Amino acid sequence: MASTYVKVKTVMDETASSATYFATAARPNTSFTMANTAFASTHNGGGAVITATTAGSSDSGKTVTLTGTDLNGKSQTEVITLPGSATETAGTKYFLTVTAAEMSSQPAGNVSLGFNASRGMGMFGGRTALKGFTCCSGGTAGDVKFHSTSSLTTSSTPFMQYRTIGTADTETHFNIPVPGVLCEDGLTVTYTLDIIDQMNVLYNG
């Protein structure tokens, strides 16, 4: 990879999870009425895992099909299967936008769509190299995960993990020797809410 100037993206999302952000509680025959199709500016360009929250216990096996984009802006879909109880069910993919959602059949109870504490941001969608990062820890210790995959899910194995301290506003720096860590299939960072307050990720793309 030819030498170029380093680019940087800031990861900073401390927005509380919401069970109704994308669609408020309703019983759609087919399409949900979307309250939002993209995350607010407080997510600073990042995304999250989508949730479907059921109010009844008679919708086991019914599905919600989500359409939108992944953290690097590429089109993706996901199917969430509803349980036979009033609960929140999380998907496994990270979404940057959710442009539409379809029920397989009308639910007996209300269903709402939102997002949970699993967050992420795409740095670059093509071949790149991780050069380093700074991390300002949130109030909870946990792992920041670095991925290079075209099909990212919550169970994807990262190529590198960084453990935060758990003391809010404590900053650390991580420098990677030249030429950096090669990421053939793009670079994406994932984390859980309150693990970090802010990160600056340096990459070549």
Per-residue pLDDT averaged across 103-131, rounded? 97
pLDDT at 89 exceeding the cut of 60: yes
- The residues that bridge with 94 in the sheet, in sequence order, are 49
CB 92 within 8 A of CB 155: yes
Instruction: Give the residue among 30, 98, 92 at the shortest CA–CA distance from 66.
Output: 98
CB 94 within 8 A of CB 45: no
Instruction: Give the residue among 120, 54, 112, 113 at the shortest CA–CA distance from 93.
Output: 120
Q: What is the distance between the alpha carbons of residues 70 and 14, in angstroms, rounded to a whole number?
A: 20
Identify whether 28 is preceded by a cis peptide bond (ω within 30 of 0): no
* pLDDT score at 2: 53
* pLDDT score at 186: 95
Which amino acid is residue 72, in one-letter code? Answer: N
CB 132 within 8 A of CB 194: no
Burial class (CB in 10 A: 0-12, 13-18, 19+), 4: exposed
pLDDT at 78 exceeding the cut of 60: yes
* pLDDT score at 5: 85
Per-residue pLDDT averaged across 150-177, rounded? 94
pLDDT digits (tens, 9 = 90+) for 55-73: 989 999 999 999 999 999 9
Angle at 180 between CA 179 and CA 181, to 5 degrees: 130
Handedness of CA 59, 65, 69, 74 (dihedral sign): positive
pLDDT at 1 exceeding the cut of 60: no
Computed over every residue of the chain, the mean pLDDT equals: 95
- The alpha-carbon radius of gyration of the chain (Å, integer) is 18
| Locus of tokens 């650390």 | 172
Whether the predicted model's global pTM rises above the 0.75 cut:
yes
Reported as a pLDDT band with limits 50, 70 and 90, residue 49 is very high
pLDDT digits (tens, 9 = 90+) for 124-151: 999 999 999 999 999 999 999 999 998 8
pLDDT > 90: what percent of the chain?
A: 94
pLDDT at 4 exceeding the cut of 80: no
Per-residue pLDDT averaged across 189-201, rounded? 97
Q: What is the distance between the alpha carbons of residues 141 and 58, in angstroms, rounded to a whole number?
A: 39
| Locus of tokens 């090669």 | 182
* pLDDT score at 97: 98
Both structure tokens of 106: 């009308």
Which amino acid is residue 89, in one-letter code? Answer: T
DSSP codes of every residue in 130-161? EEEEEEEE-SS--EEEEE--SS-BTTPPPSEE
